[in-house]
Amino acid sequence: MDEERVLAYVNAAAEAVGVPLDDAAARRVAVHLARTAGMAALLESMPLAESEELAEIYCPAPFPMRGNGDDWL
């Protein structure tokens, strides 16, 4: 996606969620978004078989408790 289309997306998304952005801030966000999209494209272009996806080893940290451990935050 070219720079102007990324900037248009940033401005539209900011307006949609009610985030005020001046032109300079919108351009900074667009630069970072374009860079992130480029990195994601590189990752997505790598061939990866289902057997290589190790999602089953993901183990989220337990939800933090307070006090004696009987009550949740």
Q: Are strands 71-72 and 65-66 parallel, antiparallel or unpaired?
A: antiparallel
Q: What is the DSSP string of 11-72?
A: HHHHHHHT----HHHHHHHHHHHHHHHHHHHHHHHS---GGG--GGG--PPPPPEETTTTEE
**Is the pTM above the cut of 0.75?**
no
What pLDDT sits at residue 65?
64
Please say whether the beta carbons of 63 and 40 come within 8 A. Answer: no
Give the 3-state secondary structure of residue 1.
Answer: coil
What pLDDT sits at residue 60?
75
What pLDDT sits at residue 51?
76
Low-confidence ranges of the chain (pLDDT < 50): none
